[in-house]
Amino acid sequence: MKGYSMDWNGEKFLDLATKVNVAAMTKATAVVVQNVKKNFTLQGTGAKSRRTKTGKYHYASMPGQAPAIDYGALGASITSKVEEKGLKVHGYVGSDLAKIKEELSKRKAATGTDLEYGIYLELGTSKMKARPFLRPALRRCKNKIEKIFRAANGHS
């Protein structure tokens, strides 16, 4: 009778799986960032206000719509980050994790930007209804994100 042996290279397998998922998460967060930026409007359909520095008018977005672009700082601030913690891979869109945790601890929700007014636009205030831009982008990208991870893990 001939003998057989089998080797289990668990560490190599887990390293490869983690690398594949980090790459997929990097693609997924980039898709969300792109979607957020694409959905800011050039001109809102809400209130009109005159800017004191430029004299130009700004038209705000309506409640529930993504923010209208004024100077473009909010859109430029949206970034992504992927972190590996053990076997877990986390993807973040916007601020770094320390900033998000700090804001959460202050009872502010993580809004994916380090610009303070991003929080107010995403969640609203007692004087302004929300103009969410991150949560809707994540919902819009759900199918693309699932497809990215299915493809990365060998499923069509």
Q: Tell the burial category of 31 from Cβ atoms under 10 Å away from its Cβ (0-12, 13-18, 19+).
A: buried
Q: How much is the pLDDT for 113? A: 59
Q: What is the pLDDT of residue 30?
A: 96
Q: Are 66 and 40 in contact (CB under 8 A)?
A: yes
Per residue in 102-134, is it b (16+ CB within 10 Å) or e — as a string? Answer: ebeeeeeebbbbebeebbbbbbeeeeeeebbbb
Model pLDDT, residue 100: 46
Helix (H) or strand (E) holding 83: strand 80-85
Kindly list the domain boundaries of the chain, sorted by start residue. 12-152
Q: Which residues of the chain have pLDDT under 50?
A: 95-97, 100, 107-110
pLDDT value for 3: 79
